Structure 1
């Protein structure tokens, strides 16, 4: 059973931050990378010898493409300062900075996640927190599905630039956006499943869960655990009510709850 820890708090007005703790992200990504093929030969072996359904093979193909893109990106990152590859890396950083933080959050909810533990300030109502999670999941499912088809449709058009001697940046950017929207769409569907009412899953408060150990939680099939945090409430109260949370406060929240500051700070720009 893989449980993801989510941290939710208001930044300014109706602008809320949704982020996943990095500790559960690292453990989940490590196990996933170990089963992803790294060469075309290994990929072909996995696809040809597998009796898995088409959707599972599609996931394997997407993971393979993702691994190749990450490897190429790391190569650009290590390029010498001032080189052509380094300039491409700078353009890539600028493009990535325009990606909405909600998309990064939804991408972090992988198919392996079977439950979420949501930490939020004590001043917030648990039903409101759950409703906001449902809203971001439902809207993300609609938006990223639409943009997935749009990005995929533009891939053949951008491939005509392959004849040029320069790297085909439009093609690789659209390829990344197609992959990113696919992951965000899948994450939206998964999150919606976890936070919605169902016969095999229940919403529980942390105080109620203290009467059960982790093995009992797995046995009862809890998919959503809501955990009000006094520590998070104190950090949020340090922010200005009119101007929203300051950069320093948000960084302190990231340190306390092991969040990625580069992703969390983007919520200030919304």
Structure 2
């Protein structure tokens, strides 16, 4: 990560990498110093030495450190709960990415510009990856159930759900969202 950050820092002025570095610096400047301090504490730490000016009361220094740690814990728990709450939404995005991968032309995946043509190992690894084929299947039974397709009723959707073993409530919700 440090090497990548250094590369961004050394990028020519005005380049995309330079702009990305500037954006990163702006974002980092918004991070509270106490967060940077808390991040610097390794989990394996078994003791800590705190150096402070002799003019300060040791109890006040300890109280301040406890306050920083407690406040950080509360903030991190809130972010954790927020992340857990948003997990279903983010997993839906991951599902849509997977669907896009499955319905995209597999020849595009094999000839992507990201592929390292100079590296034989990378080529062998990409050849080992097999993407399931997209199976398209026309259904005369679905055609019969839909009819002319101009106005699909709830009864029709329920019948389609039964025949194709779909969750009726999900189908109805999706249909409602589309209209």
The TM-score with structure 2 as length reference comes to: 0.45
Structure number with higher strand proportion: 1
Q: Taking CA–CA contacts closer than 8 Å with sequence separation of 6 or more, which of the two structures ends up with the larger relative contact order?
A: 1
The TM-score with structure 1 as length reference comes to: 0.31
